[in-house]
Amino acid sequence: MTDTRAGFVALIGEPNAGKSTLLNRMVGAKVSIVTHKVQTTRARIRGVAMEGQSQIVFVDTPGLFRPRRRLDRAMVAAAWGGAADADVVVLLVEAHRGITEGVENILAALRERADGQTVALAINKIDRVKSEALLSLTKDLNDSFPFAETFMISAEKGHGVADLRTWLADRLPEGPWLYPEDQIADLPMRMIAAEITREKLTLRLHQELPYQLTVETENWEDRKDGSAKIDQLIYVVRDGHKGIVLGNKGETIKAVGKAAREELEEFLGRKVHLFLQVKVRANWLEEAERYSEMGLEFKDGNT
């Protein structure tokens, strides 16, 4: 039997560089998105792709930008944390935007941080520029950092993505797969949907509630028109928290629902009808089942 390979790949780049689109192309039909992990010490897993005998585990890295707020700094730190733990890093640069100040900052950070790490360059949205500009951009970027390989891609249209995936598969360390193949295919989308909504709540509410609420997908209905109807419950520990989650005239819950629905539609590639309800459940923080659903270890006592 052919030796298996498995490892972590971090897609980095500025916000809106096309990371999510590329990821969706990479994971394709044979795989499923793996739920975000809550632990801050490990890179969060975003998706898994199979390529031959290789299992490529993509880690979640938020878009890299100049941080202004505490939350921004945390997101940028998480992005670099994900990249540091990865076996291979792929820098995504938009062809039509070229070397922006943001890209220059990322390149400078790579020169400091990526000592000995395999870093590839993927120039995305190549259909938006002429070949001369593309060649010039490729030269300038490769002059500024020793990329292991350069790929010209259109994540949206799929051009060049298969070549990148094959190259990544060959660069991963030999070893057993990190996830059973059947587990990848069967991971419940309900859990993933709940994590997306919980993430949006955390981002919206900042420091107020992140560890005192949880989200469960109560019902999932695939409709004949191809859309999905998803009902979710948001559990909080106190009545006062319910008001914070709902917001003034329901503004907070509406904004969270909209952001979660948009991300779900991007992940699923179809229309989503998302309905959120908030309920008080005083003891959910003591329920082991809630912890395992969030990817956390439940410990007895005060440990």
Q: Express each pLDDT in 35-62 by its tens digit.
A: 333 332 233 556 788 888 999 888 756 5
**pLDDT classification of 203: cutoffs 50, 70, 90:** confident
In 3D, which of 272, 277, 247 has the Cα closest to residue 262?
Answer: 272
User: Rounded to an integer, what distance in angstroms lies between the CA atom of residue 239 and that of residue 242?
Assistant: 5
Question: Mean pLDDT in the chain?
Answer: 80
Return the percentage of the chain with pLDDT > 90, whole number: 38
The Cβ of residue 183 has, within 10 Å, a number of other Cβ atoms equal to: 12
Domain boundary assignment for the chain? 5-182, 188-293
Q: What is the pLDDT of residue 64?
A: 61
**pLDDT classification of 115: cutoffs 50, 70, 90:** confident
Average confidence (pLDDT) over 119-126:
95
**pLDDT classification of 178: cutoffs 50, 70, 90:** confident
User: Rounded to an integer, what distance in angstroms lies between the CA atom of residue 57 and that of residue 49?
Assistant: 7
Q: Does the structure show a pLDDT above 70 at 189?
A: yes
- According to DSSP, the β-strands at 213-222 and 118-124 are unpaired
User: Rounded to an integer, what distance in angstroms lies between the CA atom of residue 44 and that of residue 47?
Assistant: 10
User: Rounded to an integer, what distance in angstroms lies between the CA atom of residue 223 and that of residue 241?
Assistant: 33
Q: Does the structure show a pLDDT above 50 at 296?
A: no
User: Rounded to an integer, what distance in angstroms lies between the CA atom of residue 54 and that of residue 72?
Assistant: 34
Output Rg (C-alpha) for the chain, integer angstroms: 20
Q: What is the pLDDT of residue 256?
A: 95
- CA dihedral sign, ordered 199, 289, 60, 190: negative
Q: What is the pLDDT of residue 60?
A: 59
Least confident span in 11-20, 129-138, 140-149, 153-162: 11-20
> Can you name the CATH fold of 188-293?
GMP Synthetase; Chain A, domain 3 (3.30.300)
> Can you name the CATH fold of 5-182?
Rossmann fold (3.40.50)
Q: What is the pLDDT of residue 76?
A: 64
Q: Does the structure show a pLDDT above 80 at 298?
A: no
The residue with greater pLDDT, 180 or 87, is 87
Q: What is the pLDDT of residue 186?
A: 40
Tokens of 229: 């109807």
The Cβ of residue 291 has, within 10 Å, a number of other Cβ atoms equal to: 17
User: Rounded to an integer, what distance in angstroms lies between the CA atom of residue 121 and that of residue 152?
Assistant: 9
The residue with greater pLDDT, 277 or 42, is 277
Q: In the sheet where 118-124 sits, what is the strand order?
A: 45-51, 54-59, 5-13, 88-94, 118-124, 149-152
The Cβ of residue 86 has, within 10 Å, a number of other Cβ atoms equal to: 24
pTM over 0.75: no
User: Rounded to an integer, what distance in angstroms lies between the CA atom of residue 279 and that of residue 282?
Assistant: 10
**Alpha carbons within 13 A on the beta-carbon side of 300:** 0
Q: Write the DSSP string, the chain.
A: -PPPEEEEEEEEESTTSSHHHHHHHHHTTT--PPPPP--SSSPPEEEEEEETTEEEEEEP-PPP----SHHHHHHHHHHHHHHHH-SEEEEEEETTT-S-HHHHHHHHHHHHH-TT-EEEEEEE-GGGS-HHHHHHHHHHHHHHS--SEEEE-BTTTTBTHHHHHHHHHHHSPBS--SS-HHHHHH--HHHHHHHHHHHHHHHHHTTSSTTSEEEEEEEEEE-TTS-EEEEEEEEESSHHHHHHHH-GGGHHHHHHHHHHHHHHHHHHTS-EEEEEEEEE-TTGGG-HHHHHHTT----STT-
